[in-house]
A and B are shown apart, each in its own frame.
Chain A
Amino acid sequence: MDLLIFDVIGKMAHFRKYYTNSSSLSYYFPPRTALTGLIAGIIGMQRDTYYEIFSSNKTRIAISIKTPLRKIIQTVNYVWAEIPDELNLSKGQHTQIPVEIVIPDSFEENIRYRVFFSHEDRKILDKVCFVVKDQKFVYPPYLGISEFTAKIEFVDYVNSIHEEHGKTTLDSILNIKYLDNGALEPSYDSLYIKEMTPFEFDKERNLINSPAYFIVEVKSGKITVQLNKPYYKVLHRKGEENILFME
């Protein structure tokens, strides 16, 4: 399997949990739906046109967190509009929304997510690889909301990954269904968070499949675990990582 690896880097991020809005909470990582949106954007696909192209049976995506993360809440003034006509601020009102923002644990650093991307359509994979390498983004990348612009850095393009079994330390986030009870090894310095995220939309942007439960470790990004399915060892220019795709 050919795999494109790139980093998405930014100072702040907000990936709104879909069941919150008037107080907007955020995931620690971009859910699969947000990642496909980001990739579709950089290669110039229009809003709501790419859901089938990046469906889970054609696309494999994994993500790992490369910097310790934390969250803060800031209150933001939003436009008050009950109908579209009021979007021009004609009501003269605003509403204050607490927004949870993901930031790096250390202010000197940036947030860095590593994305592992593969697609059955060679043309799409090549196109994404081209824009990432040449930094020729059609729509600029951002971390969840357009105010939080991001940089993308090419890491590597690998032609093969190795299937492995047994106990491991994963670098990516993990779908909880691949985990048996008690198979997650806690350590003194680990902080595991379980998140329920949407997984995939149909072409009308309606949810298909159940929301998925993922486990993420937000201090080191590493999860020591005994899995009930094989994982993948990826060797790339910056090292070796054990990953599971979001599927």
Chain B
Amino acid sequence: MLEAVKKIGELSLKERKESFAFSLIEEGIDFGSEENKKYILTLNFDLQEEKIHLDFEEIDYKKLQKYLWIGNAKSNNPQDRLTTNNVSYLLYQTIPNLYHNLKEGDLKDKLQSILEKFFLKLGQKSVYLLNLEKIEGSNIKVEEILQNFPHDFKKVKDFVEKIYEKEFYEILKNKDLSNNDFSLYSVKIDGLAPSELQEYIDYIEEKLIGEPFEDSSFEGTCYVCGKKTLITADTTKLPDKYYITKLVTFASGLDKKGFSKNFAICKDCYKELMAGSSYIRNNLSQRLAGRDLYLIPSIMFSPKEDYTLKDIVGVSKSSFNAIKSFEGKLEFQNTIEKNLVNYTKYKEIGSYSNINLLFFEKNQSAFKIKKLIKDIPLRRLDEIRKAQNDTQNITKKLFGESASRWFFISLDQIYYLIPVRIDKKSKRAVDYKKMLDLYEDLFVGRKINKNFLINEFLELFQVYRFEKFAQFNILKPKDSDIEMVFAILKTNFLLKMFSLLHILNGGEKMIEGVDDLPLREEIKNYWKEMNFSEQEAALFLLGYLIGEVGNKQRTGESNKKPILEKINYQGMNLKRIILLSNEIFEKLDQYKVRDFNEVNFAIMKRFMDKNISNWSISDSENVYWILSGYAFNTYKVITSKKEEKNEQ
């Protein structure tokens, strides 16, 4: 993984051909929407007029570069970035810190003037505070506010954030501006933005790369590129901290000096790793299964042609998104499959590159890896895409063109077919591991246990049936009964897709001579497409008959289907299935639908009796196939009613 991050960094630095600092631009900032645009507010220090002019510009990527937005200083480091998303830093910390850290030069002189002309020096510890009276158009009386200035140095932060910052917002208010309009705040000095202040750019680069080498570098072999040069074990400036040097327990010999024997890197690799991480964060962040994820392309072999990073990333992203969502699939079709140049590029790049999926959780500076699915060949994504398309074609055949979109089994969709428990307080998924393991099995082509899936599906159906939405990752729908029907059929298609990919354990021999059975064509087609065994088909038909009774019950006075209470979602053994089939026979009579279903009942009974002595389906699976038949019947009724309405 590290080598992939480094490679991305190397290409990113090579292709951008500008100062290293610009490769660290953070794009994850709120740009707002068309109706509600976000802006960057600048405090322009005019040294001649001794006034601060407030300007604002609409945020876009170019502005992020202009103002060199690379995030705030991390952890407890002093804030020294001229562009920030927290205006309080500009009111008291940034300028004094930057002035203190800068080497002698023009910028340092200017900052000294700024401190003298625009800041107030307060308290015993000489805290600098921006003089709000210096802002053009301000009618603030600072003296009055400062009556509350704390004597205790530790309380200054609170004072600035809770009192002084509000006064600053008052000035904005008087100018018909609101702090909600701004995502970023920055500084100009005599009209020059941070990207125009070379000394500031040099400072940032030195700060990020130079510091780790200042005191703790030594001659050795770089643990990344293998060069014998000056290396450092101080990795604190690397983002995404899955390697730390804070705890002595990780150091060789339980001595912090031992970190130099664990992992030490040269300046070039340091830069490339930082640039790579920044690029990945900005361009390759994704969400899947309610979790954060980096999609990291890696190159298994050197490419024959010099493809750019944009090419490689573009191909990796398109292939992944094509299986992730229906929209991604459409985009893939339009931009890659229908474009010969792009398709050739896609095939070429796909032959030597892989992707890594890094699921993680980030909490302030802590970075915890939840799962790494490594080196997935792009051809595997092709195979998955093909299986998705083939499954979609089956749904088209069975339920028509318009329904096929609803039954498209994307990666996103799979997440909603496996119930994941959500912690009520934190709203985070608790048992997410099974989900990530399932994705891994899919990506690497490992066998998946069918019983595991069936049990998960039954739990899902219970979420719908008993409305347990608050505890799970399933959103409460308008009509739980109907959504359950959709969910059941989707799980059928998920099984189908997995079986097309040959990753499903188990599976019985399918029924012979389906075409000769005196059943409705739609049922026979479903069985054929889904490769049902006789046992599965018997249960499916039993479920179908339950659907017949249920439909009658729902169209009666009540909107409910009491027949569904006969189903035990924990599983039903064969004895109970036989009892249920007898009960259904009576119900068909009771609701006067026996005449239409005698053949269905007879075939169900025939298959059941034939297999009764060698019944191989588990109790859970029995219920699953009954529910599948029920869902199939109900879906047909719902759609035929819709069609009738449309015709009228």
Contact = CB atoms under 8 A, between A and B. Distances in A.
Contacts of A20: 242-243, 369
Contact of B369 (A73, A82, A105, A194): A73
A196 B247 contact: no
A18 interface: yes
B153 interface: no
Given A193-B374, A208-B221, A213 B444 contact: no
Given A23-B242, A73-B433, A81-B248, A207 B223 contact: yes
A18 B302 contact: no
Contacts of A186: 377, 379
Interface stretch (B109-117, B197-205, B255-263, B521-529): B255-263
A181 B352 contact: yes
B242 A22 contact: yes
A210 B247 CA distance: 27
B374 A18 contact: no
B1 interface: yes
A22 B241 contact: yes
Question: Among the interface residues B2, B260, B367, which one has the most CB atoms of the partner chain A within 10 A?
Answer: B2
A206 B445 contact: no
A83 interface: yes
B223 A21 contact: no
Contact of A23 (B223, B302, B354, B369): B369
B370 A81 contact: no
B452 to A, nearest CB: 13
B368 A23 contact: yes
Interface in B92-128: none
Interface in A188-215: 188-189, 191-194, 196, 198, 204-211, 213
A22 B244 contact: yes
Interface in B36-69: none
Contacts of B261: 204-207
Interface in A161-206: 179, 181-182, 184, 186, 188-189, 191-194, 196, 198, 204-206
Given A78-B249, A79-B249, A182 B301 contact: yes
B224 interface: yes
Given A82-B246, A181-B302, A191-B445, A98 B352 contact: no
B372 A83 contact: no
A157 B450 CA distance: 44
Interface string B116-159: 00000000000000000000000000000000000000000000
A81 B247 contact: yes
A184 B248 CA distance: 42
B interface, size bucket: 35 or more
A143 B570 CA distance: 40
A188 B380 CA distance: 9
A115 B298 CA distance: 29
Nearest to A193: B375
B520 interface: no
A181 B179 CA distance: 56
Nearest to B376: A191
B339 to A, nearest CB: 25
B372 A25 contact: yes
Interface string A61-101: 00000000010110000111111101100000001101010
B249 A19 contact: no
Contact of B367 (A23, A72, A83): A23
Given A81-B249, A98-B369, A192 B300 contact: yes
Contacts of B236: none
B153 to A, nearest CB: 25
A163 to B, nearest CB: 25
A98 B370 contact: yes
A193 B298 CA distance: 11
Interface in A126-183: 179, 181-182
B225 interface: yes
A219 B255 CA distance: 39
B86 interface: no
A79 B248 CA distance: 10
Contact of B223 (A73, A87, A211): A211
B293 to A, nearest CB: 14
A199 to B, nearest CB: 9
Question: Among the interface residues B252, B262, B264, which one has the most CB atoms of the partner chain A within 10 A?
Answer: B262
Given A181-B304, A206-B221, A95 B352 contact: no
A213 B3 contact: yes
B226 interface: yes
B252 A205 contact: yes
A224 to B, nearest CB: 15
B437 interface: yes
Nearest to A96: B368
B281 to A, nearest CB: 16
B316 to A, nearest CB: 16
Nearest to B259: A21
Nearest to B238: A19
A179 B264 CA distance: 28
Interface in B371-385: 371-372, 374-375, 377, 379
Given A73-B433, A194-B298, A196-B2, A84 B255 contact: yes
A25 B368 CA distance: 11
A208 B243 CA distance: 21
Contacts of A213: 3
B2 A19 contact: yes
A189 B377 CA distance: 12
A73 B371 contact: yes
Contact of A18 (B260, B263, B437): B263
B517 interface: no
A211 B370 contact: no
A18 B445 contact: no
Nearest to B369: A23
Nearest to A202: B221
Interface in B1-54: 1-3
Contacts of A21: 242-244, 250, 262
B254 interface: yes
A219 B445 CA distance: 10
B220 interface: yes
B351 to A, nearest CB: 8
Contacts of A23: 242, 360, 367-369
A176 B246 CA distance: 34
A205 B221 CA distance: 12
Contact of B254 (A18, A72, A84, A95): A84
Given A80-B247, A206-B260, 6 more contacts: A19-B243, A78-B247, A80-B249, A81-B247, A82-B246, A184-B300
Which 5 interchain pairs have the tightest Cβ spacing? Answer: A210-B226, A23-B369, A23-B242, A21-B250, A22-B244
Interface of A: 17-23, 25, 70, 72-73, 78-84, 86-87, 95-96, 98, 100, 105, 179, 181-182, 184, 186, 188-189, 191-194, 196, 198, 204-211, 213, 219
28 contacts: A19-B2, A19-B223, A20-B369, A21-B243, A21-B250, A23-B360, A70-B440, A72-B437, A80-B249, A81-B247, A81-B249, A83-B248, A84-B248, A87-B249, A98-B368, A100-B372, A105-B446, A184-B300, A189-B445, A191-B375, A191-B445, A193-B375, A194-B3, A194-B298, A206-B261, A209-B226, A210-B226, A211-B224
Interface of B: 1-3, 220-221, 223-226, 241-244, 246-250, 252, 254-256, 260-264, 298, 300-302, 304, 351-352, 354, 360, 366-372, 374-375, 377, 379, 433, 437, 440, 444-446
